Amino acid sequence: MVSFKAGINLGGWISQYKDFSKTHFDTFITEKDIKTIAESGFDHVRVPFDYPIIESDDNVGKYKEEGLFYIDRCLEWCKKYNLGLLLDMHHAPGYRFQDLKTNTLFEDPSQQKRFVEIWTFLTKRYIDEREHIAFELLNEIVEPDSVRWNKLMLECIKAIREIDPTRWLYIGGNNYNSPDELKNLADIEDDYIVYNFHFYNPFFFTHQKAHWSESAMAYNRAVKYPGQYEGIETFVKENPKYDFMMEVNNLQLNKELLRKDLKSAIEFREKKKCKLYCGEFGVIALSDIESRVKWHEDYVSLLEEYDIGGAVWNYKDMDFEIYDGEGKPISKELINILTRKKV
């Protein structure tokens, strides 16, 4: 089995794409990109995909070879360059983490059936590719609690295990894969499960001035790491609806804060005796490069200390780019940190 220790996400390709077109899918990620990632020192890629790539709503159960081709080809490239591939369903039938008001997956049995059937189909398709490809069932669940996700997740795992008892499956918890929610996942007795969380703390640093976050745009300040948030009291006084931000007033943004925020995941592993993985972490490219490098250095050193694999968000584009459009790293020092050559 290839290693899933130091990875990078391929967001924006067959998930969260700006353009649903053959031209985009053919050109956004090519063999050259996979070769660059491997030669940089990464050992795997996390590949988010949206279900419309492989199945149309008006032709349920008929899977599209023209879309599956991109997963197949990426897998062949990964095998060529000895990379692992974590296949992550980012947009499922009836569920998108960006469209919480319109989601129907956890209420609609027909959508749940589709979800399970997609994964059983993919399990059969890649039955002989256990060495290089693992499955992440669903990205960033957001529910009032974990009850409905636990039910669907267990059903999906059962269906997969009837076909493939030893496929590595990655399972994330509620509240956007929060480390704090791992403890609320159903207990699973399975030696081939990895528990997945995401880490973007402290939020108003990693997401400073993020255009999709109302609160980040309202605060609208450059934040350095290490350091602290500036002007919180004045901001809250002028914007009372963000009074929750007083909790971060005078907060020291440093490695010990990251360690504290990681603590619940470590406690979960100690109790469960399981494998952990951080499927997404990173800092928005609007941050100054020195702060980005230092945050990643501190966080990756914690992943190393606690023996946790992970994949940085994101290879290129998507506001968190690690490489530019030409495939050149924005910082060689950052690449060395992310590939764990320097931690």
- Domain chopping of the chain, boundaries: 6-205+254-338
pTM: 0.96
* CA atoms of 322 and 324, how far apart (whole Å): 7
pLDDT in tens, 84-130: 999 999 999 999 998 888 999 999 999 999 999 999 999 999 999 98
pLDDT value of residue 101: 85
Q: At residue 34, what is the residue type? A: I
pLDDT value of residue 100: 85
pLDDT over 90 (residue 79): yes
Give the CA distances from residue 142 to residues 9, 118, 157, in Å, rounded to whole numbers and listed in that order: 21, 21, 20
Name the pLDDT band for 343 (thresholds 50, 70, 90).
Answer: low
90 Cβ neighbours under 8 A, 6+ residues apart: 11, 15, 16, 48, 49, 50, 96, 97, 139
* CA atoms of 132 and 17, how far apart (whole Å): 25
Name the pLDDT band for 199 (thresholds 50, 70, 90).
Answer: very high
Q: Which of 55, 140, 181, 297 is catalytic?
A: 140
pLDDT value of residue 3: 86
What's 125's DSSP letter?
A: H
pLDDT in tens, 151-175: 999 999 999 999 999 999 999 999 9
Length in residues, the chain: 343
CA 182-99-25 angle, to 5 degrees, is 95
334 and 40 in contact (C-beta within 8 Å)? no
* CA atoms of 228 and 225, how far apart (whole Å): 7
In sequence order, what are the beta bridge partners of 196?
172, 277
Could you check whether the bond before residue 196 is cis, i.e. omega within 30 degrees of 0? Answer: no
Mean pLDDT to the nearest integer, 219-240: 96
CB burial of 49-68 (b: ≥16 within 10 Å; e: otherwise) equals bbbbbbbeeeeeeebeeebb
pLDDT in tens, 274-325: 999 999 999 999 999 999 999 999 999 999 999 999 999 999 999 999 999 8
Mean pLDDT to the nearest integer, 229-253: 95
* CA atoms of 267 and 289, how far apart (whole Å): 32
Q: Which of 181, 280, 297, 321 is catalytic?
A: 280
Question: What mean pLDDT value characterizes the chain?
Answer: 96
Q: At residue 183, what is the residue type? A: K
Q: Could you give the percent of the chain with pLDDT greater than 70? A: 99
Q: What number of CA atoms fall less than 13 Å from residue 288's CA on the CB side?
A: 10
pLDDT value of residue 56: 95
What's 146's DSSP letter?
A: S
Residue 66 catalytic?
A: no
Residue 140 catalytic?
A: yes
* CA atoms of 322 and 312, how far apart (whole Å): 9
pLDDT over 70 (residue 70): yes
Tell the CATH topology of 6-205+254-338. TIM Barrel (3.20.20)
pLDDT value of residue 271: 95
The dihedrals phi and psi of 178, each to the nearest 5 degrees, come to -65, 140
